[in-house]
Amino acid sequence: MSQYVIGADIGGTTVKLGVFSMEGSLVDKWEIPTRTEEEGRYILQDIADSCLAYMDKQGLERKDFAGIGMGVPGTVNEDGSVNTCVNLGWGYREVRREMEEILKIPAWADNDANAAGLGEMWKGGAKGMTNLIMVTLGTGVGGGIIIDGKTIRGSRGYGGEIGHITIHPEETLSCNCGRKGCLEQYCSANGIARLARAGLESWEGTTRLADLEEITCRDVFDAAKDGDEYALARVEAFGKDLGMTLANLAAITDPQVFVIGGGVSKAGKMVTDVVEKYFRRYALAGQREVGFRLAVLGNDAGIYGCARLALGDSVCQ
């Protein structure tokens, strides 16, 4: 009988790997570099080799592992394939099938933000919940929508692409996706920093952000915590954009809780407070008490969620 599952969160720079007990305890974790060269052809083999080396070192065999779950930074089809994954250099790849062929244990694959949502539901900020929306505010904005314990993947794998909800159709700058006015352009770490730089021109008061050569998202929240008025105005604008969008999401899938993760969430309670404030302004009367929580698994949410994928429905929530 298998004792372990593996979670592999595949990012553009590193692959995070975690070995979990069947009950979901993290037993070991490590990272390997993501070799994106030559269309990322080595990535899956590197993961398999690393897992086999781990087994070898621990005196374990394939039969001790129930499977491996993988998180991929892109849209994943129902059958575990991807049509393209720019960050990894991949075109069409049957990720799930290839890994099963190489590693010879059952494999699963899903979008990385979806996996992070699963992880937070299983062992993190939404533990015990079954209906939640995970919002990952990092370089971009990712989303994982979980209903009745299952991630909404959608008919083409675009389920939960909340970073690409159009919130400012009048925008003239383009999003990475090629469209204009996406949530990601305003509420990602990059978006917050960009708007803080751009807004300085028309700000008539003083602000310590004006003295910085380069403004980061962290600078904005740090200054806001110190009472810098310009930074506070930027945080309010962020809260309004995200709070209204999440109120609209609530009218669609009606979650028990929102979990906010990713780099921006490191600013802590200031983030959830301002988002919650505007959420309550725009939400339907019966939904104003929906909870807001910070993600607690941090960078490990992905490996937890990937492990959860590999456990399928055979585990208690």
Query: Is residue 284 a contact point for a copy of itself (CB under 8 A)?
Result: yes
Among positions 251, 268, 269, 277, the unique one binding a copy of itself when judged by CB under 8 A: 251
Query: Is residue 256 a contact point for a copy of itself (CB under 8 A)?
Result: yes
Closer to a copy of itself at the Cβ: 45 or 83?
A: 83
DSSP H helices, 35-188, are 37-40, 43-58, 95-103, 112-123, 184-187
Closer to a copy of itself at the Cβ: 74 or 199?
A: 74
Among positions 110, 161, 219, 276, the unique one binding a copy of itself when judged by CB under 8 A: 161
SS3 category, 81: coil
DSSP state for residue 86 in the 8-state scheme: G
Contact assessment for residue 220 and residue 137, using Cβ atoms and an 8 Å cutoff = no
Determine the interface stretch with a copy of itself among 31-39, 59-67, 176-184, 198-206 (rule: CB under 8 A). Answer: 176-184
Contact assessment for residue 310 and residue 6, using Cβ atoms and an 8 Å cutoff = yes
Shortest distance, position 144 Cβ to a copy of itself, whole Å:
11
Query: Is residue 75 a contact point for a copy of itself (CB under 8 A)?
Result: yes
Contact assessment for residue 166 and residue 182, using Cβ atoms and an 8 Å cutoff = yes
Q: Which whole-number Å values give the CA distances from 307 to 8, 42, 84, 135, in the listed order?
A: 8, 22, 23, 20
Closer to a copy of itself at the Cβ: 177 or 210?
A: 177
How many helices (H) and strands (E) the chain has is answered by: 10, 10
Determine the interface stretch with a copy of itself among 200-208, 259-267, 283-291, 304-312 (rule: CB under 8 A). Answer: 283-291
Cα distance between residue 210 and residue 220, in whole Å = 11
Query: Is residue 227 a contact point for a copy of itself (CB under 8 A)?
Result: no
Give the residue among 163, 170, 166, 222 at the shortest CA–CA distance from 193. Answer: 222
Among positions 162, 260, 303, 306, the unique one binding a copy of itself when judged by CB under 8 A: 162
Burial 213-252 (b: 16+ CB within 10 A, else e): eebbbebbbbbbeeebebbbbbbebbbbbbbbbbbebbee
Shortest distance, position 243 Cβ to a copy of itself, whole Å:
11
Instruction: Count CB neighbours of 111 within 10 A.
Output: 27
Instruction: Count CB neighbours of 147 within 10 A.
Output: 15
Determine the interface stretch with a copy of itself among 19-27, 63-71, 241-249, 300-308 (rule: CB under 8 A). Answer: 241-249
Closer to a copy of itself at the Cβ: 124 or 255?
A: 255
Closer to a copy of itself at the Cβ: 260 or 303?
A: 260
Report 48-67 residues binding a copy of itself (CB under 8 A).
Answer: none
Among positions 30, 33, 86, 158, the unique one binding a copy of itself when judged by CB under 8 A: 158
Query: Is residue 159 a contact point for a copy of itself (CB under 8 A)?
Result: yes
Determine the interface stretch with a copy of itself among 8-16, 204-212, 243-251, 267-275 (rule: CB under 8 A). Answer: 243-251
Give every strand in the sheet of 141-147, ordered side by side. 150-151, 141-147, 132-137, 257-261, 291-294
**Between 134 and 153, how does the x/- string for binding to a copy of itself read (CB under 8 A)?**
---------x-x-x----xx
Summarize as ranges the residues that interact with a copy of itself (CB under 8 A).
75, 83, 131, 143, 145, 147, 152-162, 164-166, 169, 177-179, 244, 247-256, 282, 284-287
